[in-house]
Structure 1
């Protein structure tokens, strides 16, 4: 686990404001190929990946609108409900750990966990999915093209294909990215002020780096290492009750380590304007509400309406273009 708190003047903080990379890091055992991306995309949108054939991955992660479902909690057509709010999937390949509590270390392992989860895809016996897809001639052909050395239609390759597709979901060319790479006309005056106020309010302590979620995979943080922070950091505000912020104990519910109560993987702020409602329980309905609550619960600050507007304008500048892989026919 990695805990970090960085506070620095904006002139130095540009080391922590970084543009989106051309691609995320790839695991050595699952190099990116076009055939795997195509297969993963097909699997992602296929209802066969749920036990009842009732819904696809896109049911909870609508990829054309940021990769979430605009709900506090996701429900299946069978009315099973998730424990926490579904996060967006654009740029998910830049995360070093997965889920709000960081319990999965790779997109491959998370894919298998989703298939087994009774509140998500619901397979009581995940081997049934293998048999289902093996019976499809189109899938047998697609797997043989994507995995030439080991063309089996099996769970390992299903997970690798889904992970490859998700790593291709980079959303480039946000106004922020254009601004820090030289186009000083890309941000509005409010967004420029908001970028400074984002730093002044302390937000940059946790939300920095390529994905605005702490260190990106690299020298400071390896794939599988989590970057976590307390939320709420300052217990006792009115939001503990009104937004039920202390009802879920966060990473502790997975790890059972007492010091990890209310610890959460720091979420990305890229494309956040597309993924309301906010927080692990979807209790903040708007971006302005989320900004106001975070300032109070994390730093004890009461922001002015203008500060909230400016920070919100900056956060909206983090919205990238629809990933290229989704624009293909």
Structure 2
């Protein structure tokens, strides 16, 4: 055992002796168990859940929110970039929807400030759900008597089927998609046995080499509270890293495409690291297939560091402790129209 390792083990033993091991994790906080807003009623959440799972909100009746953000797994779709209507694909990887409420902006480029605003976008994106406008979305919903009744019950209005109410319901449901009580949360709460020695080494390395510059707080994305201003980070920072060209990390202009401000070139939102072991592939373009390689990419392009195999293994052991408890989610029964489809067959391509 080398001298630095002996020193670390000695410090660790002292922390254990005095019951303060969790104090080492100074850059982190436990994940909140709830993020509900006033007005997030059971009726609104149930309606939002149905809308989230309903593919009829897409032009071809084939793509739902859950199609790209699969709640039966990591909250993403496991693809480099998601497939929308008619097999079309976009340029970016689908982020997880689990714990997405703990962010100050949505989408990789932060173009939506809220979950409600984010929910509007994919419905009318031509490579995602492909509707020609939100009026078409609402027209579909209005044709289904069960939805009209549920909108009225959730919002207490005679003409409640609006796009604003639809995305409010979806966001209310998404605010329930929280995975608390991970081993790391239990460690932060004082359970000294919640994570093993390798994970602690990974946590210490994560802090010491500078990962917490961007990945701190309860969701490990620098978010600290609901009133946070949106933050963006240059990626890749060290553009001369050979991994930049290898994974085509420099061609996406990031937030610049939203703001047209030169200072926003290659600026991206910092992603949530909760459940990161479940959301491969990685990076905004989904071209990094494994978490081990993602660790090397981030170290090289952001910190100008080259990791050893042991360091990578330790980091992954730490990240594995970020997998929390997933709430049980039963697939909802969707309201339908008796004997008639809401999708006009003439409007759907044969492809």
TM-score, normalised on structure 1? 0.90
Please name the residue that 2:69 is paired with: 61
Aligned equivalent of 2:94, options 86, 95, 99 = 86
After TM superposition, the runs of 4+ consecutive aligned structure 1 residues lying more than 6 A away are: 10-13
1:178 has 2:186 as partner: yes
Find the aligned partners of 2:225 and 2:331 in 1 and give their Cα distance.
Answer: 28
Gap regions ≥5 residues in structure 2: 1-20, 333-351
Partner SS for 1:315: helix
Please name the residue that 2:345 is paired with: none
Aligned equivalent of 1:142, options 146, 150, 153 = 150
Find the aligned partners of 2:193 and 2:133 in 1 and give their Cα distance.
Answer: 55
Aligned equivalent of 1:288, options 292, 301, 305 = 292
Largest Rg, 1 or 2: 2
Which moves more between the two structures, 75-84 or 10-19?
10-19
Count residues in correspondence.
312
Please name the residue that 2:124 is paired with: 116
Please name the residue that 1:17 is paired with: 28
C-alpha distance after superposition, 1:260-318 (max 9, x if no partner): 11111011100110000000001111111000111111111111111110011101110
Find the aligned partners of 1:77 and 1:232 in 2 and give their Cα distance.
Answer: 31
- For the Cα contact (< 8 Å) 2:68–2:94, is it kept in 1? yes
Please name the residue that 1:232 is paired with: 236
TM-score, normalised on structure 2? 0.85
- For the Cα contact (< 8 Å) 2:85–2:127, is it kept in 1? no
What is the correspondence of 1:199-238 to structure 2 with a 5 Å cutoff? 199-218=207-226, 221-222=227-228, 225-238=229-242
Please name the residue that 1:251 is paired with: 255
Please name the residue that 1:5 is paired with: none
Gap regions ≥5 residues in structure 1: 1-9
- For the Cα contact (< 8 Å) 1:25–1:217, is it kept in 2? no
Partner SS for 2:111: coil
Partner SS for 1:92: coil
Cα 1:12–1:192 shift into 2, 3 Å: closer
Cα 1:278–1:196 shift into 2, 3 Å: same
Find the aligned partners of 1:148 and 1:175 in 2 and give their Cα distance.
Answer: 42
Cα 1:150–1:301 shift into 2, 3 Å: farther
